[in-house]
Chain A
Amino acid sequence: MAEKLIEIRDLSKVYERGAQKIEVLHHIDLDVDAGDFVALMGPSGSGKTTLLNLIGGLDRPTGGRITVGGQRLDELGAGPLAKWRAATVGFVFQLYNLMPMLSAQRNVELPLLLTKLSAAERKHRAAIALQLVGLADRATHKPAELSGGQQQRVSIARAIVSDPALLVCDEPTGDLDRAAAEEVLALLRVLNRGHGKTIVMVTHDPKAAEYANHTLHLDKGSLVTQPAVAA
């Protein structure tokens, strides 16, 4: 039986907007095995990104428990949570979110600045990560000099450079054309199958979800077994 990397029990998230309380997630229970590739789908406002943020330790639940790699995230303070993220999670965003003034190499090195590695070692590891995503020859290029697909691959290199156990990807192909999207998704599959990374990916695209091992559907803040059918 596979080891569980993510254990979520009775997870709720309520946002307060002035006097109004919006319950975004209702009593979610979810397990994700280590080495799994899970796609999270659902209509806009269903709580996909909120659940992803909670799994990635970017946000705090209002109720319930969330455990990732044996660590209770809901019990961690801001500082320890930041350290935990640095060590355990790699993030891939829809809009790549690279530093525009840094080269691809420097962008990939960014998470390694939080480690005790020497400058030479950081450079070496960033070069390996760039090689893995097929952009070794673009190391000195700045994001503006790269295509969307290349930028997303740099952001994946940044996500994996510190060798995290978990990758959380928020609409990683949402801003790409089909060909570039296929490349990025193929790369994620290689990282999952070839390197054992556990991946949780939010997507609107059923074709992207096909690359995952499982697809979970969220609707109005709850996990449902079948996708909601538009009226």
Chain B
Amino acid sequence: MKYLHLIWAALFRRRTRTVLTLVSIIAAFVLFGLLDAVRSSFNQAGQSANGAARLQTGAKLSFIQPLPQALQAQIARVDGVKQVTYANWFGGAYQDPHNQVFSFAVAPNYLDLYPEVAVTDTERKAFAATRTGALVGEQLARRFKWKVGDRVPLQSTIFPDRQGSKNWPFEIVGILHATDKKTGGFFDQMFLLNWKYFDETTPYNQGQVGWYVTRVVDVNQADRVAKAIDALSANSDHETRTQTEQAATASWMKQLADIGLIVGSIMGAVFFTLLLLSGNTMMQAVRERTSELAVMKTIGFSSRSLLAMVLAESVLLLLLGGVIGLALATVIIPAISAGSGGMLNLPPVRRGSWSLGVALMVAIGMLVGALPALKAMRLNIVDALAGR
């Protein structure tokens, strides 16, 4: 600690250069915080106690391939299945195609399998009784200032009605509330419509469903039940693939994009650039201080203490920028979530992200400091003082 003022003074010897390098490090770690939150958000999708007891069955070929509705009764008879329901992707947008809404046409018993979604009995009854009825998540309702009783049109980006129009009228009959905001934020964004209305209105469905959701009696039997469900359609033209909700969500997202790979690639490029940038800063900083380092050695500082001081300077540079960057990300993430009106529900910077971030700061600091620190350690006093 008694060398801290020396290290600090050396770090800010060239104030402008250090500040510019710090800005780069801050930007890199803000990005790290944001991307890590995105990755966590995708990883967390489908992870809940209730989700563990649910299986999703979709077409083996692709998640956009429909399945026959008749499969519901067969799945219900599989040993270990408690309940089964189904849903279709509707692909709705409100007013503007950019205002995408997570809209699903669902079976009457759909909400029975999602106890983490709270809706009043009156509203459920109204949903069942109203052909064009819709249940909407509370954040979605807030975003578009909808309330129960409102009549709202959604434009399906996929399904037209029998007249060819893609505008579908709905009447909001209830509001959905996710009971666990941490894992169920998605439900607050949902728009549920009656599957029967959907099936009868569009000529492109004809009694087919997008996927089945099954609740198992015993979570430990989920694997066996999944295999039994898939066996029902083996060698048919609609072979299925049944997975846990988490695996299905991950697989669905992977078909959209490999988030882990994208995030990893971006961060790899960012940190590689940071490595070069801060490495160059440290090399310049030590080169400029050759005679000062020689004087320190002359006075009696050992080669090892100079090595440690240059390494500490480099790590301090990374820690300073990195901690500010991650702290900024901690502030920015909730602001992004709030600013998106709930469309993006990014988790806060977790303790794990902080640990990983700090480990990266130290590792990069050691790496970029290694070469200049060795240079300082091996400095020949006589040559350095003579300017050779």
Contacts and interface: CB of A to CB of B under 8 A. Distances in A.
Interface of A: 53, 56, 58-59, 78-79, 82-83, 85-87, 91, 93, 97, 99-102, 106, 110-111, 113-114, 119, 158
Contacts of A97: 291-292, 295, 385
B381 interface: yes
B381 to A, nearest CB: 5
Contact of A58 (B9, B10, B304, B381): B381
A119 B385 contact: no
Contacts of B224: none
Given A58-B381, A85-B299, A101-B10, 5 more contacts: A79-B304, A83-B300, A86-B300, A100-B292, A106-B9
Task: Tell me the interface secondary structure of chain B in the complex.
Answer: helix
Contacts of A53: 381-382
Interface of B: 2-3, 5-6, 9-10, 12-13, 291-292, 295-304, 381-382, 385
A97 B301 CA distance: 15
10 contacts: A59-B382, A79-B303, A82-B297, A83-B302, A85-B298, A85-B300, A97-B291, A100-B13, A101-B12, A113-B3
Contacts of A158: 299
B13 A101 contact: yes
Chain A CB count within 10 A is highest, among B3, B304, B385, for B385
Task: Tell me the interface secondary structure of chain A in the complex.
Answer: helix
A82 B301 contact: yes
Contacts of B13: 100-101
A73 B193 CA distance: 91
Contact of A110 (B10, B296, B304, B382): B296
B2 A119 contact: yes
B197 to A, nearest CB: 75
A58 B12 contact: no
A102 B2 contact: no
A90 to B, nearest CB: 9
